[in-house]
Structures are given as C-alpha cells and as structure tokens.
C-alpha cells in the first residue's frame, strides 16, 4: 500500500515538473541572449559596502590591508626565528653525539692496543 502511494506521488510530481517545463520553455526562448548584466565580483564591492556604513566613512581598506599583512609578516618572522632555534639545537646535539662517538672509538682503540 505504501509503495502504491509513493508511486502515485512520484508520477504526479514528475507530471507537474514536465508541465511546468513546457510552460516555461517558450518564455525562456524569448529572452535575449545578453539579458544578464555583467556585475563586479563580490570581493570588489566589499570596500564600497564598508564605506556605506555610517561610522566608517573614513575607513581606508588599503591601510587595513597593510596592518593585516604587517601582522602576518611579524608572525611569520617569529615562526622562522623559532624554527631556526630548533634547527640550531638539533645541529648542536648531532655534533655532540658525533664527537662522543669519536672519543669512544679512540679510547677503545687505545685499550685494545694496550692489551696486545
């Protein structure tokens, strides 16, 4: 019974869609090809929308962008400095391990020479 009701709803829905399409096709065919206006991208309209806000008449988008980019630059420089410190510590640890291994090697050679 439920499948019969679902099938009837499906058939009537498809019929409604087809009727609507056949009614709108002549209207769509009658539209001119260039009915769509060329609009600016949304991201270019943002500064104008900001300047239309009453309290922000003197807002400068360029200065805002400079401040944001300066803060990003400072953050990147701090990260670079931190990474450089980590690299330096790794290099020092690696150098210390090499010298310890080298010292142990020569001490073992001296011990083996004395035993002979």
Residue 17 belongs to a domain: yes
pLDDT at 51: 73
On whether both 21 and 70 belong to a single domain, the answer is no
Residue 76 belongs to a domain: yes
Residue 50 belongs to a domain: no
| Total domains present in the chain | 2
Q: What is the mean pLDDT of residues 95-108?
A: 78
On whether both 73 and 116 belong to a single domain, the answer is yes
Indicate if the pLDDT at residue 74 is higher than 60.
yes
Q: Give the contacts of 72 (CB within 8 A, at least 6 positions apart).
A: none
Residue 98 belongs to a domain: yes
Indicate if the pLDDT at residue 60 is higher than 70.
yes
pLDDT at 41: 77
The domain in which residue 9 lies consists of: 1-31
Tokens of 16: 């409604």
Q: Give the contacts of 47 (CB within 8 A, at least 6 positions apart).
A: 61
Q: Is the dihedral of CA 88, 89, 95, 99 positive or negative?
A: positive
Residue 116 belongs to a domain: yes
Tokens of 104: 């142990």
On whether both 19 and 66 belong to a single domain, the answer is no
Greater pLDDT, 84 or 40: 84
Answer yes or no: pTM beyond 0.85: no
Q: What is the mean pLDDT of residues 75-103?
A: 91
56, containing H or E segment: none
Q: Give the contacts of 50 (CB within 8 A, at least 6 positions apart).
A: 56, 59, 61
C-alpha to C-alpha distances, 112 to 92, 100, 106, nearest whole angstrom = 30, 18, 10
Tokens of 84: 């450089």
Residue 97 belongs to a domain: yes
Q: If DSSP codes are grouped into helix, strand and coil, which group holds residue 1? A: coil
Residue 56 belongs to a domain: no
pLDDT at 53: 78
Indicate if the pLDDT at residue 32 is higher than 80.
no
């Amino acid at each position: 019974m439920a499948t019969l009701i679902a099938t009837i709803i499906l058939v009537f829905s498809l019929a409604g869609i087809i009727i609507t399409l056949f009614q709108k096709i002549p209207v769509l065919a009658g539209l001119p090809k260039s009915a769509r206006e060329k609009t600016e991208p949304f991201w270019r309209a943002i500064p104008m929308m900001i300047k239309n806000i009453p309290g922000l008449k003197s807002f400068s988008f360029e200065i805002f962008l400079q401040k944001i980019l300066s803060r990003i630059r400072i953050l990147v420089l701090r990260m670079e400095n931190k990474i450089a410190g980590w690299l330096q510590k790794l290099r020092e640890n690696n150098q210390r391990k090499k010298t310890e291994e080298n010292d142990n090697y020569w001490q073992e050679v001296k011990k083996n020479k004395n035993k002979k």
